[in-house]
Structure 1
């Protein structure tokens, strides 16, 4: 059942005074449903892009043997939680613009405007969606993001200590760290490598090991990691000299890494908001204002979406998409600049980033007045709004 049909049906059965209140209730629910559906679709797209972008780096680390393959999913999930506070406002804003753009294209909002439904009432309907989302973003930015940032650092350190030979890809040279250079021609599964070649720089001498197979022996109590070779040769010497020592072995262990467990220090992004609030450091104050800016941005973007989405019936369905992206980028960039100014002391700490939101809100109200002639349109004689 369409919105206008529902309004007409109730208008025929109820008293006129009650109809107006009922119309607005129906409009609120209709705008909520349309904006929520569009915003959720945009969120899914942005979520996939964010997850794919974050997973690329971790997959590269796993392929290079820096972290175990099973750690990729956990680290990716923590990083997604870290950035959801920025993604959700963007998804909501773009979704609102797309939803209302469709309503303008189908002439639904112009008809409602003729009945006295102005931008203030449209904003009210969108606010039923924006306010809960702002609360969600507040929780994500103030509590979840710092926790996820710190947990990602802790888990990365733990994963780097627990990495095993199963993370190495057979047929590829892997270099870096104390292990020097490692190559395995084949893998037998369960962490065992075949046709292994290892090069290690030991002080002013070089060590080369060639073996038929190798497994890792990790000792968590000390953090030592050994490569245990079977059936091979070890060559010790110095480049350019002839005093190389060749040793044949059936079993040989080589210490390739000593990584003791360390306490991961919290950086500013991983510090709890309650701890930052009591700080006098400008960078800490700027971080607090940045986190609080995300839910505030949700409310301001909702007001901005109303004049931005206004379109003519012949405009394309996605005609306002580029404009919405540009508006969001400009707003976010202004917040970023304000954050840098606050860190450098160019703006008062008491003012924080409030000036950015106030400026954006005033611009939204001025834009609304320009596009609609005011928040409450003049109702025509004989219309439903009288």
Structure 2
């Protein structure tokens, strides 16, 4: 690599690393603060909470990496422009097309990293966090309760009491479970209950043994009592299917015709494309006169452009999930718009295309 290319690479990669670290720090701080106010720390413990924060950070990296490089390109080239270094390079014969080519070459490995995070690391992290989230949110959870105390939830309308428990065997003794709905009330009394191991395929569940179920309706005619030897009590909620789709392997999504899974697959595959296109758009924002006030305005406009792009990409994904937009064009129309913007703002790119070679 020539001296100028090495210099530009250093000027872009250093702020990229700094911005990435700052964004990760902010995300981790926010996540820790949020989990400390939730049931995660109480239920799973501090060590598990930090593991969950790490998994959430891996998930967020697919978005944080393109943002960081986008900001790094704008900052690095704007600084060079403000210090007249861009003009010096042009005078030396290092034109704008070569600067664009250099940024593109730098963006490629970062785009590959973004793709790996999205296609492989993100599903794995979702699968792991899926398990931990489910364990923390489970209504019947041996880690959550102490014997001899009543636990109530205004959100779910449940009251739970256990007479004793064995943490080693994940066993609860003397289980009392009460839930109130708009239609009836249900009471479950069980001699013992066992918390079954959590897997990525199955939401947390408790196996209750030797008990009775009493359903008390507001219409007393419909009251009922059921005796059981064994009952599986699931804690699944509305987020289960969403988590499973995000935790599914990319290979399994590839064979699916379900709109939600198609949207998830296209979102993963679009991350490298977004990284490169955003980097090229960032180059176009540095084409201003080397003055501080214009540089500040550049960052403001760039932030607005990224906000519009991010909201459009999320909207495109939602449309595919809901079947409003077919699998083709799917989410790709957003990136078609980005390509048009890049070609309009960077006419030098035409000379880099195969048809433009002499």
SS at 1:176 equivalent: strand
Residue 78 (structure 2) pairs with residue 98 (structure 1): no
SS at 1:329 equivalent: helix
> Residues 292-327 of structure 1: CA distance to partner in whole angstroms, max 9, x if unpaired?
111110110121011112222222565432222222
Larger radius of gyration: 1
Residue 110 (structure 2) pairs with residue 133 (structure 1): yes
Could you tell me how far apart the structure 2 residues matched to 1:174 and 1:81 are? 37
Give the 5 Å matches for 1:87-166: 87-158=64-135, 161=141, 163=143
Classify 1:256/1:46 alpha carbon distance in 2 versus 1 (closer, same or farther; 3 Å).
farther
> Which residue does the alignment assign to 1:347?
325
Classify 1:177/1:346 alpha carbon distance in 2 versus 1 (closer, same or farther; 3 Å).
closer
> Which residue does the alignment assign to 1:364?
342
Q: Which runs of 5+ in 2 are unaligned?
A: 176-190, 202-242, 352-358
> Residues 208-267 of structure 1: CA distance to partner in whole angstroms, max 9, x if unpaired?
x9xxxxxx853343532799xxxxxxxxxxxxxxxxxxxxxxxxxxx9986443444361
Could you tell me how far apart the structure 1 residues matched to 2:93 and 2:173 are? 74
> Which residue does the alignment assign to 1:6?
none
Stretch moving more, 314-323 or 115-124:
314-323
> Which residue does the alignment assign to 1:219?
167
Q: Which runs of 5+ in 1 are unaligned?
A: 1-21, 167-172, 181-199, 210-215, 228-254, 378-386
Could you tell me how far apart the structure 1 residues matched to 2:174 and 2:14 are? 54
Residue 156 (structure 2) pairs with residue 176 (structure 1): no
Work out whether residues 142 and 170 of structure 2, in 8 Å CA contact, stay in contact via their aligned partners in 1: no
Alpha-carbon shift at residue 45 of structure 1 (Å): 1.2
* Number of equivalences: 289
> Which residue does the alignment assign to 2:279?
302
Alpha-carbon shift at residue 354 of structure 1 (Å): 2.3
Tell which has more relative contact order, 1 or 2 (C-alpha 8 A, sep 6+). 1
Work out whether residues 78 and 148 of structure 1, in 8 Å CA contact, stay in contact via their aligned partners in 2: yes
TM-score, normalization by structure 2 = 0.71
Could you tell me how far apart the structure 2 residues matched to 1:278 and 1:303 are? 33
Could you tell me how far apart the structure 2 residues matched to 1:137 and 1:320 are? 25
Residue 255 (structure 2) pairs with residue 275 (structure 1): no
SS at 2:288 equivalent: coil
SS at 1:224 equivalent: strand
